[in-house]
C-alpha cells in the first residue's frame, strides 16, 4: 500500500499530486520540496488527492505545518496557503477526523490540475533523526490546529520528544 508524490513548482504555487497513500514515507520529501519553494518566496501549496487512497496523521500534520512555516525579519508570519483539491470520501474522512478543513482550504468541486511537468519525489527518509523530527513536528502542528487532537496525540508527542532528546542529546527540542 505504498504511495508516492508528483510535484511541480511555478512562480505562483507548489503543485502536488498524491498517488496511493500520503504517509510518513513521502511527507519528508514533500516537506523538503515545499520548504525550498517557500524560501524562494512561493506561498501557495495545492494538493491533489484524486488518486490518493488514504492519509496518515504525519502527512496531514506536515500540511498543517506549512501554514506557520516562516517569519519575516520583523518576526511577523509569512502566511502559506494550503489548498486541497479533489478529495475523495476516504481522504475527506481522514482530514475531518483531525480538523484539517477548519484551517486548510478544501475545494469541494472537481478541479483540473494545471498542465505542468510533474516530477516524482523520492520516497522515505535517510536517517532516524530527521524522520523522528518530521513526525514530531507534524503531530505538534495537528495539536496546535485543533485542541481535540491534544488528547489523541499528546502522549505520542511526549514520547517523540523524549526520543528526539535521546537522538539529539540535547534538552531544547520540546520548545520547537
Domain limits of the chain? 4-125
* Percent of the chain clearing pLDDT 90 (strictly above): 60
Strands 70-71 and 44-48: unpaired
Name which of 60-64, 68-72, 170-174 the model is least confident about.
Answer: 170-174
Residues belonging to the chain: 176
**For 128-138, what is each residue's pLDDT tens digit?**
888 888 999 99
Segment 22-51 mean pLDDT: 92
**For 72-125, what is each residue's pLDDT tens digit?**
666 666 778 999 999 999 999 999 999 999 999 999 899 998 888 999 998 776
Contact (CB, 8 A) for 135 and 24 = yes
**For 3-36, what is each residue's pLDDT tens digit?**
999 999 998 899 999 999 999 999 999 999 998 9
Residue 18 to residue 124: CA distance in whole angstroms:
15
- Does domain 4-125 fall under CATH 3.40.190.10? My reply is no
Distance from chain centroid for Cα 1: 19
**For 148-176, what is each residue's pLDDT tens digit?**
999 999 999 998 888 777 776 654 444 44
The residues that bridge with 20 in the sheet, in sequence order, are: 52
3-state secondary structure of 161: helix
pTM, two decimals, is 0.87
Amino acid at each position: 500500500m505504498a504511495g508516492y508524490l508528483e510535484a511541480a513548482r511555478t512562480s505562483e504555487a507548489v503543485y502536488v499530486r498524491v498517488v496511493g497513500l500520503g504517509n510518513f514515507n513521502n511527507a519528508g520529501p514533500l516537506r523538503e520540496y515545499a520548504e525550498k519553494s517557500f524560501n524562494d518566496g512561493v506561498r501557495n501549496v495545492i494538493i491533489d488527492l484524486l488518486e490518493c487512497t488514504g492519509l496518515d496523521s504525519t502527512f496531514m500534520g506536515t500540511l498543517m505545518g506549512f501554514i506557520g512555516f516562516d517569519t519575516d525579519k520583523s518576526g511577523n508570519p509569512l502566511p502559506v496557503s494550503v489548498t486541497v483539491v479533489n478529495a475523495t470520501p476516504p481522504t475527506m474522512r481522514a482530514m475531518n477526523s483531525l480538523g484539517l478543513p477548519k484551517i486548510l482550504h478544501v475545494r469541494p468541486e472537481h478541479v483540473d490540475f494545471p498542465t505542468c511537468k510533474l516530477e516524482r519525489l523520492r520516497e522515505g527518509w535517510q536517517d532516524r533523526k530527521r524522520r523522528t523530527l518530521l513526525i514530531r513536528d507534524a503531530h505538534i502542528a495537528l495539536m496546535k490546529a485543533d485542541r481535540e487532537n491534544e488528547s489523541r496525540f499528546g502522549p505520542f508527542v511526549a514520547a517523540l520528544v523524549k526520543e528526539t532528546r535521546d537522538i539529539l542529546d540535547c534538552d531544547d527540542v520540546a520548545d520547537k
